[in-house]
């Protein structure tokens, strides 16, 4: 037996060691060249012996530039005690970085795998940059006038927020049925799902999610965080909130700004702040568009409360409550639709669909870490939700096929299978991605990717127009989603009366009430 090889020790570590390379978004915002705020990226190169060889910051839309800068410094100008030169091997946390690095490090073996030193360094880096916050208020927030927000626009938001606070929505929207939905074509809002916080009288806020599925996913991750005592690996859905604080909790600079511009504030603890919470729980500075959307939500809620005196009772009744109002936002009158969240029966199944055996949780987290990177670059949140559902469904198989085979192969196969069901390869679709791009991103051959895609489609019975595996935004064009048996005949439910559509939606047979969606779109 050959004697074990010993790694060199002491100063002047050889550049032939295995490096760990990664990228992350930093937890703060800086002004971009166009005047808008951006969250910069940081590229980090870890030496095989432990220390950091190089870091570089860059624009979030041009990650390769930061990566190239960090590599140049790591190879040619490493810190004292580390020798210049290329590594013998590189480990990266996901397949996307693997593809980015291959042209930058020709001839170097690059693999996706564990990066413990990199993970520790990234965590320490975030802690160094992390802003200390009070509950509900960002201490680094010294002004309401972020990005392109003007004092006049903020005055409109304060007026709407004060009117909403005075109506105490946490007393009229019951805590056991908290979901409402808002849409407005003019404001770029489609099916935002919100909940009102404050029934326990400890804190008051209106929180908005992109969809019912996003809300349910947030609840699912929050339960994991509470159970395990730590943040889950997966990112939380993006949130937008009108948050109310007591005067004593407000930074002095914000109070001075409120007094300077005479913005109206409701009596009591009604000092409003805009909270835009990123998936990694970092607060983003609002833009004029963000402010207008939340102002519209506040004004629509005010009109709903004023319009229906017995709102609490109506909310719990069998009737689907939905209203359309004209509201003034930033000097323009826009149409908004607001009411009880439709499609909830489907959404309530989301947590059940995402449950996995405890023994497979680590495997699911590892697969989703790679898939999340691909989604961020090529797909969107809708695709990510379907891909997660597919991974979890495979994990629940007995025995799970995920226990055999390489993770990159399964990732590519799952993405390809869901992509086929939603015509991802059709260049007229948005988003659009070619099959070879999927295989290359996960570092596998076309033959392997196609084979695993077929396994996934066979195991989960995935086919085109299957409502279960169709993107929510494409359901309108999916004929199978609307074909139901009524009185012994197969009919398109979209041609049936409204009451039958409502009954079908309440039973979870269709994703939403199509007649209401058409009516909403035509009047927005």
- Residue 46 maps to which CATH number? 3.30.420
Cα→Cα distances 524→49, 289, 332, 372, Å: 60, 18, 14, 34
Structure tokens belonging to residue 412: 């590519």
User: Are the CB atoms for 132 and 139 separated by under 8 Å?
Assistant: yes
Q: Is residue 1 domain-resident?
A: no
User: What gap in Å lies between CA 496 and CA 491, rounded to an integer?
Assistant: 8
Residue found under tokens 């511009």: 261
Same domain (yes/no): 157, 277: yes
Domain limits for position 96: 18-129
Domain closes at, from 78, 97, 129: 129
Do 26 and 87 fall within a single domain? yes
CA nearest neighbour of 24 among 72, 75, 87, 67: 67
Is 211 contained in some domain? yes
Report if residue 235 sits inside a domain.
yes
For 50, residues 6+ apart whose C-beta sits below 8 A from its C-beta are: 117
Residues 48 and 108 in one domain: yes
**Is the entire prediction scored with pTM above 0.75?**
no
| CA dist., res. 331 & res. 312, Å (int) | 31
Task: Note whether 324 and 413 are same-domain residues.
Answer: no
**Residues 6 or more apart in contact with residue 291 via CB below 8 angstroms:** 149, 153, 154, 157, 274, 330
Same domain, 447 and 414: yes
On whether the CB atoms of residues 326 and 335 are closer than 8 A, the answer is yes
Q: Check: CB of residue 25 under 8 Å from CB of residue 69.
A: no
pLDDT for position 159: 97
98 and 216 housed in the same domain: no
- In this predicted structure, what is the pLDDT of residue 53? 92
Closest listed residue to residue 94, CA positions, set 518, 313, 408:
408
Those residues with Cβ within 8 angstroms of residue 376's Cβ, 6 or more apart along the chain or in another chain = 96
Backbone angles phi, psi at 259, to 5 degrees: -65, -40
Q: What is the pLDDT of residue 394?
A: 95
Angstrom distance (rounded) from CA 393 to CA 332: 47
| pLDDT score of 1 | 33
Residue by residue, pLDDT tens for the chain (524 residues) are 333 333 333 333 444 488 999 988 777 766 666 656 777 888 999 998 888 899 888 888 888 888 999 999 999 999 888 889 999 999 998 887 888 898 999 989 999 888 888 888 877 776 665 544 433 334 346 889 988 899 999 999 999 999 999 999 988 886 645 688 899 989 999 888 898 988 666 678 999 998 877 787 787 777 776 766 666 555 678 899 999 998 988 889 999 999 999 999 998 879 999 999 887 777 888 999 999 999 999 999 999 999 998 887 777 665 667 889 999 999 999 999 998 874 443 333 344 456 788 888 889 988 998 898 888 788 887 888 899 999 999 999 989 999 998 999 999 999 999 999 888 988 877 788 899 999 999 999 999 999 999 999 999 999 876 777 888 766 655 556 566 666 666 666 666 777 666 666 656 566 566 655 544 444 44
The answer to whether the Cα torsion of 501, 506, 511, 513 is positive or negative is positive
- Contact between 42 and 66 under an 8 Å Cβ cutoff? The reply is yes
Whether residues 104 and 171 share a domain: the answer is no
- Residue 87: C-alpha distances to residues 74, 105, 106 (Å): 10, 9, 11
Q: Which two tokens stand for residue 522?
A: 């035509």
Q: How many CB atoms lie within 10 A of CB 294?
A: 24
Separation between Cα atoms, residue 20 and residue 45, nearest integer Å: 6
Q: What is the pLDDT of residue 351?
A: 40
pLDDT at 87: 92
- Residue 326 backbone phi and psi in degrees, to 5: -105, 125
Instruction: Note the pLDDT of residue 459.
Output: 94
The answer as to whether 285 is a domain residue is yes
Q: Which helix (H) or strand (E) holds 455?
A: helix 446-460
Nearest-5° Cα angle at 326, 320 to 329: 120
Look at residue 143 and tell me if it is in a domain.
no
Partners of residue 240 on adjacent β-strands: 208, 276
* Residue showing tokens 């409360």: 305
> What pLDDT shows up at residue 138?
41
Residues 295 and 155 in one domain: yes
pLDDT of residue 36: 65
Q: Are 376 and 280 in contact (CB under 8 A)?
A: no
Do 425 and 515 belong together in one domain?
no
The reply to whether 140 falls in a domain is no
Residue 10 domain flag: no
Domain boundary among the residues 312, 341, 370 is at 341
326 with 367, same domain? no
Count structural domains, the chain. Answer: 4
Bridge partners of 180, per DSSP, are 194, 340
In a domain, 453, yes or no: yes
Instruction: Check whether residue 59 and residue 195 sit in a common domain.
Output: no
Which two tokens mark 383?
A: 């695709």
Closest C-alpha to 346, from 232, 183, 215, 474: 215
What does the block give as tokens for 152?
């006049």
379: domain CATH number is: 1.10.472
Point out the domain boundary residue: 447, 473, 499: 473
486 & 467 share domain? no
Beta-sheet pairing, 483-486 with 89-92:
unpaired
Strand-strand pairing, 180-184 and 189-197: antiparallel
The three-class DSSP label of residue 23 is strand
The DSSP letter of residue 237 is P
β-bridge pairing 109-112 and 89-92:
parallel
CA–CA distance, 105 with 85 (Å, rounded to integer): 11
């Amino acid at each position: 037996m050959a004697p074990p090889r010993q790694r060199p020790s002491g100063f002047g570590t050889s550049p032939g060691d295995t490096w760990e390379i990664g990228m992350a978004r930093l937890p703060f915002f800086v002004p971009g060249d166009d005047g808008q705020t951006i969250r910069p990226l940081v590229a980090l190169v870890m030496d095989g012996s432990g220390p950091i060889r190089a870091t570089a910051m860059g624009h979030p839309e041009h990650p390769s530039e930061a990566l190239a800068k960090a590599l140049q410094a790591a190879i040619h100008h490493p810190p004292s005690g580390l020798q210049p030169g290329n590594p013998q091997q590189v480990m990266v946390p996901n397949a996307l970085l693997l593809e980015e690095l291959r042209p930058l490090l020709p001839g170097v073996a690059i693999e996706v795998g564990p990066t413990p030193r990199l993970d520790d360094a990234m965590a320490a880096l975030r802690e160094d940059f992390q802003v200390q916050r009070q509950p509900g208020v960002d201490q680094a927030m010294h002004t309401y006038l972020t990005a392109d927000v003007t004092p006049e626009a903020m005055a409109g938001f304060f007026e709407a927020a004060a009117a909403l606070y005075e109506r105490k929505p946490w007393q009229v929207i019951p805590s056991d049925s908290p979901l409402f939905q808002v849409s407005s074509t003019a404001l770029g809002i489609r099916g935002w799902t919100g909940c009102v916080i404050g029934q326990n009288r400890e804190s008051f806020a209106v929180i908005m999610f992109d969809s019912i599925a996003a809300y349910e996913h947030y609840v699912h991750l929050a339960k994991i965080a509470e159970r395990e005592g730590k943040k889950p690996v997966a990112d939380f859905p993006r949130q937008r909130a009108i948050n109310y604080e007591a005067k004593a909790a407000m930074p002095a600079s914000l109070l001075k700004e409120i007094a300077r511009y005479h913005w109206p504030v409701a009596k009591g603890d009604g000092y409003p702040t805009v909270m835009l919470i990123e998936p990694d729980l970092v607060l983003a500075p609002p833009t004029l568009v963000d402010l207008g959307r939340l102002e519209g939500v506040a004004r629509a809620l005010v009109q709903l409360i004023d319009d229906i005196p017995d709102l609490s009772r109506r909310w719990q009744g069998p009737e689907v409550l939905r209203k359309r109002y004209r509201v003034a936002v930033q000097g323009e009158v826009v149409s908004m639709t607001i009411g009880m969240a439709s499609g909830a029966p489907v959404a309530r199944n989301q947590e059940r669909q995402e449950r996995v055996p405890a023994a497979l949780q680590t495997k699911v987290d590892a697969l989703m870490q790679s898939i999340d990177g691909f989604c961020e670059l090529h797909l969107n949140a809708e695709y990510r939700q379907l891909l997660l559902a597919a991974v979890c469904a495979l994990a629940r198989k007995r025995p799970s096929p995920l226990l055999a085979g390489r993770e990159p192969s399964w990732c590519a196969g799952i993405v390809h299978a869901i992509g086929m069901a939603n015509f991802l390869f059709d260049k007229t679709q948005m988003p659009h991605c070619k099959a070879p791009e999927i295989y290359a991103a996960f570092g596998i051959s076309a033959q392997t990717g196609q084979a695993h895609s077929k396994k996934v489609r066979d195991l989960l019975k995935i086919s085109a127009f299957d409502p279960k595996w169709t993107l929510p935004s494409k359901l309108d064009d999916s004929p199978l989603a609307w074909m139901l048996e009524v009185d012994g005949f197969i009919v398109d439910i979209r041609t049936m009366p409204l009451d039958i559509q409502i009954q079908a939606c309440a039973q979870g047979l269709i994703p939403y009430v199509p007649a209401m969606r058409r009516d909403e779109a035509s009047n927005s």
